[in-house]
Amino acid sequence: MAKKRPQTKGKSHVSSGEIPVVGAREPCPCGSGRRYKACHGRAAAHAVTELVQRPFEGLAGEGDWIALRELVPAATVRLTLKESLPDGVPSVTLATVLPMAWPALRRDDGSVLIGLQNDTSSGDLSRDLADTLQRALTAEPGTPVQAHRAPADGPRLQDLLDPSAAFEPVVHTGFEFWVPDSENASPEVAASLERANAAAIPTVKLSGVDSAYWCETPDKNHLRWVMPHPEEQLLDALARLHAAGTSSLGEGTRLVGSFRAHGLTVPVWDLPTGMSAEDVEKPAAEFAERLAAALDSGAPLTVEERKARGGLTNRQVTLS
Mean pLDDT of the chain: 87
d(CA 208, CA 244): 24
Is-contact 189 225, C-beta < 8 A? Answer: no
pLDDT digits (tens, 9 = 90+) for 287-313: 999 999 999 998 999 999 999 999 999
Grouping H, G, I as helix, E, B as strand and the rest as coil, residue 221 is strand
Rounded to the nearest 10 degrees, the angle between the axes of helix 231-243 and helix 303-314 is: 120
- Does the pLDDT value for residue 284 go beyond 90? yes
Report the pLDDT averaged over residues 161-177.
Answer: 95
CA 208 to chain centre: 22
Is-contact 297 291, C-beta < 8 A? Answer: no
C-alpha pair distances (Å), 232 with each of 206, 211, 237, 297? 25, 19, 9, 13
Q: Which residues contact 5 (CB under 8 A, 6 or more apart)?
A: 20, 22, 29
pTM of the entire predicted model: 0.82
pLDDT digits (tens, 9 = 90+) for 118-151: 988 789 999 999 999 999 999 999 999 998 889 9
| Residues in a beta bridge with 76 | 95, 170
Backbone angles phi, psi at 130, to 5 degrees: -65, -40
Backbone angles phi, psi at 247, to 5 degrees: -95, -5
d(CA 52, CA 56): 9
32-41, 61-70, 132-141, 205-214 — which is least confidently predicted? 32-41
Question: Can you give the pLDDT at residue 39?
Answer: 67
Grouping H, G, I as helix, E, B as strand and the rest as coil, residue 121 is coil
d(CA 320, CA 316): 12
